[in-house]
């Protein structure tokens, strides 16, 4: 089946292949990509779109020595297929298997473990600057591939400014498929559209080839480049002045699915001195019609089966996720209050805001992959008197820490931060686990930090935050929303909710692991241990009264959070107890230890970290056994 692909152990094996064989190989690679997504959820349309580009790059450069960075890294699959990982490809994104992003532990062809967009030009420029300073390294070429969705990120212009000033030899391949996850937005995208209508790309493909054929294939690269430039200007085919003004040579647009042409272009620019931007036009989802027609859905589709006539059957989950609960809650808030606005940094689909976008087009803002701008933009709206919501993944909020500090908390502006994908995101792995937000948000004065225990809390907390005159944040994971039974207390600033009080010990649950804590307590009760549960709700302000009463009076206390232990909720509890002069020797903190967590299903990771009901119950049993000899009154420090 994979006649050619199965023999490719490394990019060196591509060297003898003709353009026709490379095209055949591209077909085989697409087949493997399609087979993968029929077994699991994985990045798909972006990978289908870069197959030819990947082959052209690896046949023009030698990346065992030259440098290559794929921006973001979600389109790394074709690269993995031809850099020695074909035989393990089926393990992609599963526990112990290949990572869905570049991973230097898997291959020397992957330079950085990344999953966040926009940093590729900076990192590649850094590699080049480093290689140029080290003896015998300056011949190493430096290439990065960046999508038009990632391209508006602020850091890209910091890097281009630096590269244009340094004049380093650097090739930036702009992979323009007119899509981020959703259709790309903003003025820069419109500029790229104008470049696309440049006759070099539209209609005049034969003209392109004529020009290329006039350019000598051998000889001084700078001269070859100038010859090409002269010919294209003569034909009125040159554009990209924005990049030229930044001291980049702009070439393109080029058809990114024509291997022959791509290789000619890459060969032409590979030794051009100074920074070059090669504008390559691709189709997201290329080669698999349903994905090309709906690249938004097929960015990371649910597992599906292909049928004869191309009809697809999707493996859909019937449960409602926290993301859905919150997008519906946002919708209702916007319906009720014309001052509520919502912002997403290119994650409209992931945060399920499509209905909000359609219903409130003037109060919905997709800013593109520009998190820092998004937060300052929200601050401006809050200052003007609106009630902005920043709906963002926990891990991407890290991009904008300074704006949260300066523009929001320092001004004490009422911006609401909804942190989706908080905690362990599962198969995306360490680049995407949202584990640091509690630690980095709770240190900021004025910031209210909330963790809903279930869907009831999540909706009520949004309502609370939109009536509160300070910045508020709340977090929830990527999982099915749960609801704790029984009558619930309303959300009150800095007040926890006592689910039950236990005489043998207490679990203090911070966040949506609350139902697991309740399940653990129920199991312990069957074993004869009376362990109660507190739903902490607030990390800041902490309900010291309730939580410290538990520490002062109960034989043991276990805190539970799906976040980094260092600086997180348990730390806040221990700090508060220490400040109050209460011993914490009988307090145990459960959460994410001080290391990066690999990829696997969220449930597998929770179990590995002792954060599932069994693990929580086990920790309680251990604490109970350990604290048995000690009595609560001995713990109070005088």
Ligand X SMILES: Cc1ncc(C[n+]2csc(CCOP(=O)(O)OP(=O)(O)O)c2C)c(N)n1
Task: Please give the full DSSP string across 398-416, using - where no structure is assigned.
Answer: GGGHHHIIIIIITTT---E
Stretch that binds ligand X, among 69-77, 331-339, 441-449, 622-630 (CB under 6 A): 69-77
Stretch that binds ligand X, among 72-80, 247-255, 451-459, 562-570 (CB under 6 A): 72-80
Q: Are strands 538-540 and 448-450 parallel, antiparallel or unpaired?
A: antiparallel
**What is the contact mask toward ligand X in residues 280 to 299, using x (rule: CB under 6 A)?**
----x---------------
Stretch that binds ligand X, among 141-149, 285-293, 416-424, 571-579 (CB under 6 A): 141-149
- Tokens encoding 376: 């300052």
The whole-angstrom separation of Cα 568 and Cα 13 is 49
Complex with ligand X: residue 265 or 396, whichever CB lies closer: 396
Q: Does 257 bind ligand X (CB under 6 A)?
A: no
The backbone region for 254, taken as left when phi is positive above 0, alpha when psi lies in -120 to 50, beta otherwise, is beta
Active site residue 589: no
Q: Residue 262 phi/psi, 5° resolution? A: -60, -45
DSSP state of 72: S
Provide the 8-state DSSP code for 117.
S
Q: Which segment (145-153, 234-242, 307-315, 492-500) binds ligand X by CB under 6 A?
A: 145-153
Which lies closer to ligand X via its Cβ, residue 82 or residue 181? 181
Tokens describing residue 101:
């992003």
Pick the catalytic residue from 30, 224, 264, 284.
Answer: 284
434 touches ligand X by CB under 6 A: no
The answer to whether 399 is a known catalytic residue is yes
Here's the x/- map for ligand X, 22-51, by CB under 6 A: it reads as ------------------------x--x--
**Taking a C-beta distance cutoff of 8 angstroms, is the pair 562, 589 a contact?**
no
Binding test (CB under 6 A) with ligand X, winner from 78, 149, 414, 452: 149
Q: Are 69 and 112 in contact (CB under 8 A)?
A: yes
79 binds ligand X (CB under 6 A): no
- Give the total of residues touching ligand X (CB under 6 A): 25
115 binds ligand X (CB under 6 A): yes
Instruction: Report, in Å, the least distance between residue 174 CB and ligand X.
Output: 9
Q: Which of residues 398-427 bind ligand X (CB under 6 A)?
A: 399
Site for ligand X contains 174 (CB under 6 A): no
> What length does the chain have?
638
Assign 98 to helix, strand or coil.
coil
Q: How far is the CB of 436 from ligand X (least distance, A)?
A: 14
d(CA 388, CA 342) in angstroms, rounded, equals: 6
Residue 82 lies near ligand X (rule: CB under 6 A): no
- Provide, rounded to whole angstroms, the least separation between the CB of residue 144 and ligand X: 12
Q: Which of 72, 83, 169, 535 binds ligand X (CB under 6 A)?
A: 72
**Which window, 34-42, 146-154, 514-522, 606-614, contacts ligand X (CB under 6 A)?**
146-154
C-alpha angle with apex 286: 212 to 268, nearest 5 degrees?
Answer: 20
Q: Exposed, middle or buried: residue 134 (CB in 10 Å: 0-12, 13-18, 19+)?
A: exposed
Short-list 315, 386, 366, CA closest to 42: 315
Asked if 103 touches ligand X (CB under 6 A), the answer is no
Q: What does the DSSP assignment read for 195-224?
A: HHTSTTTTT-HHHHHHHHHHS-SSS-HHHH
Residue 345 or residue 438: which is nearer to ligand X going by CB? Answer: 345
The dihedrals phi and psi of 143, each to the nearest 5 degrees, come to -135, 140
Q: What is the DSSP letter of 564?
A: E
Count of Cβ atoms closer than 10 Å to residue 579 Cβ: 10
Among 29, 117, 144, 539, binds ligand X (CB under 6 A): 117
Does residue number 346 form part of the binding site for ligand X (CB under 6 A)?
yes
Q: Which helix (H) or strand (E) holds 613?
A: helix 613-627
Distance CA 205, CA 199 (A): 9
Closer residue to ligand X in complex, CB, 150/606: 150
Q: Which of 67, 399, 478, 540 is catalytic?
A: 399
Selecting among 52, 283, 371, 562, the annotated active-site residue is 371
Decide if 284 is catalytic: yes
d(CA 515, CA 528): 20
Site string for ligand X, 177-216 (x = CB under 6 A): x-xxx-----------------------------------
102, 147, 301, 414: residue in contact with ligand X (rule CB under 6 A):
147
- The per-type count for the chain, helices as H runs and strands as E runs, is 25, 19
- Which residues of this protein are in contact with ligand X, per CB under 6 A? 46, 49, 72, 74-75, 115-118, 147-150, 175, 177, 179-181, 284, 345-346, 369, 371, 396, 399
Any idea which residues carry the catalytic annotation? Answer: 284, 371, 399
């Amino acid at each position: 089946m994979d006649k050619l692909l199965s023999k490719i152990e490394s990019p060196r094996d591509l060297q003898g292949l003709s353009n026709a064989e490379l095209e055949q190989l591209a077909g085989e690679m697409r087949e493997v990509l399609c087979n993968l997504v029929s077994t699991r959820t994985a990045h798909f349309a972006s990978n289908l779109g870069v197959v030819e580009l990947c082959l052209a790059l690896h046949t023009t450069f030698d990346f065992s020595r030259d440098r290559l960075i794929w921006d973001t890294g979600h389109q790394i699959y074709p690269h993995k297929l031809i850099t020695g990982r074909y035989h393990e490809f089926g393990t992609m994104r599963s526990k112990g298997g290949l990572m869905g992003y570049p991973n230097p532990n898997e291959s020397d062809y992957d330079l950085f473990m990344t999953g966040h967009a926009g940093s590729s030009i900076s990192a590649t420029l850094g590699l080049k600057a480093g290689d140029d300073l080290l003896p015998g390294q300056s011949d190493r070429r430096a290439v990065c591939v960046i999508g038009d969705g990632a391209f508006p990120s602020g850091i890209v212009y910091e890097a281009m400014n630096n590269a244009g000033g340094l004049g380093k030899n650097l090739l930036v391949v702009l992979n323009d498929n007119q899509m981020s996850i959703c259709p790309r937005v903003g003025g820069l995208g419109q500029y790229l559209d104008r470049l696309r209508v440049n006759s070099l790309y539209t209609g005049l493909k034969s003209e392109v080839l004529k020009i290329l054929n006039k350019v000598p294939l051998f000889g001084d690269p700078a001269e070859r480049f100038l010859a090409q430039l002269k010919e294209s200007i003569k034909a009125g085919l040159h554009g990209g002045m924005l990049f030229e003004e930044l001291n980049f040579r702009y070439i393109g647009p080029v058809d990114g699915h024509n291997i022959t042409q791509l290789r000619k272009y890459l060969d032409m620019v590979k030794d051009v001195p100074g920074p070059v931007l090669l504008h390559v036009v691709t189709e997201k989802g290329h080669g698999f019609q349903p994905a090309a027609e709906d690249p938004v859905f097929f960015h990371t589709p649910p597992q599906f089966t292909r049928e004869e006539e191309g009809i697809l059957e999707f493996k859909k989950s019937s449960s409602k996720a926290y993301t859905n609960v919150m997008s519906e809650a946002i919708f209702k808030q916007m319906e009720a209050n014309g001052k509520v606005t919502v912002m997403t940094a290119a994650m409209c689909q992931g945060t399920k805001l499509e209905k909000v976008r359609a219903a409130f087009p003037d109060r919905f803002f997709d800013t593109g992959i520009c998190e820092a701008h998004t937060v300052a933009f929200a601050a401006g709206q809050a200052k003007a008197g609106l009630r902005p919501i920043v709906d963002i993944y926990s891990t991407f909020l890290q991009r904008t820490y300074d704006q949260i500090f300066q523009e929001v908390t320092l001004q004490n502006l009422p911006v609401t931060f909804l942190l989706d994908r908080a905690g362990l995101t599962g198969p995306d792995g360490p680049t995407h686990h949202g584990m640091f937000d509690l630690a980095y948000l709770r240190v900021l004065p004025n910031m209210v930090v909330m963790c809903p225990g279930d869907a009831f809390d999540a909706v009520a907390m949004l309502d609370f935050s939109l009536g509160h005159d300070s910045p508020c944040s709340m977090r929830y994971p990527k999982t099915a929303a749960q609801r704790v039974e029984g009558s619930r207390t309303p959300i009150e600033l800095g007040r926890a909710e006592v689910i039950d009080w236990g005489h043998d010990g207490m679990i203090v649950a911070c966040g949506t692991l609350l139902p697991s804590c309740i399940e653990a307590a129920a199991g312990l009760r069957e074993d004869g241990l009376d362990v109660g549960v507190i739903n902490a709700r607030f990390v800041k302000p902490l309900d010291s009264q309730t939580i410290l009463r538990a520490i002062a009076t109960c034989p043991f206390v276990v805190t539970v959070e799906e976040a980094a232990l260092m600086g997180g909720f348990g730390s806040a509890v221990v700090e508060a107890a220490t400040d109050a002069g209460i011993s914490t020797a009988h307090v145990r903190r459960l959460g994410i230890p001080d290391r990066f967590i690999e990829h696997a299903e969220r449930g597998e990771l929770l179990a590995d970290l002792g954060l599932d009901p069994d693990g929580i119950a086990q920790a309680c049993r251990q604490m109970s056994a350990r604290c048995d000899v000690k009595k609560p009154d001995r713990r109070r420090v005088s």
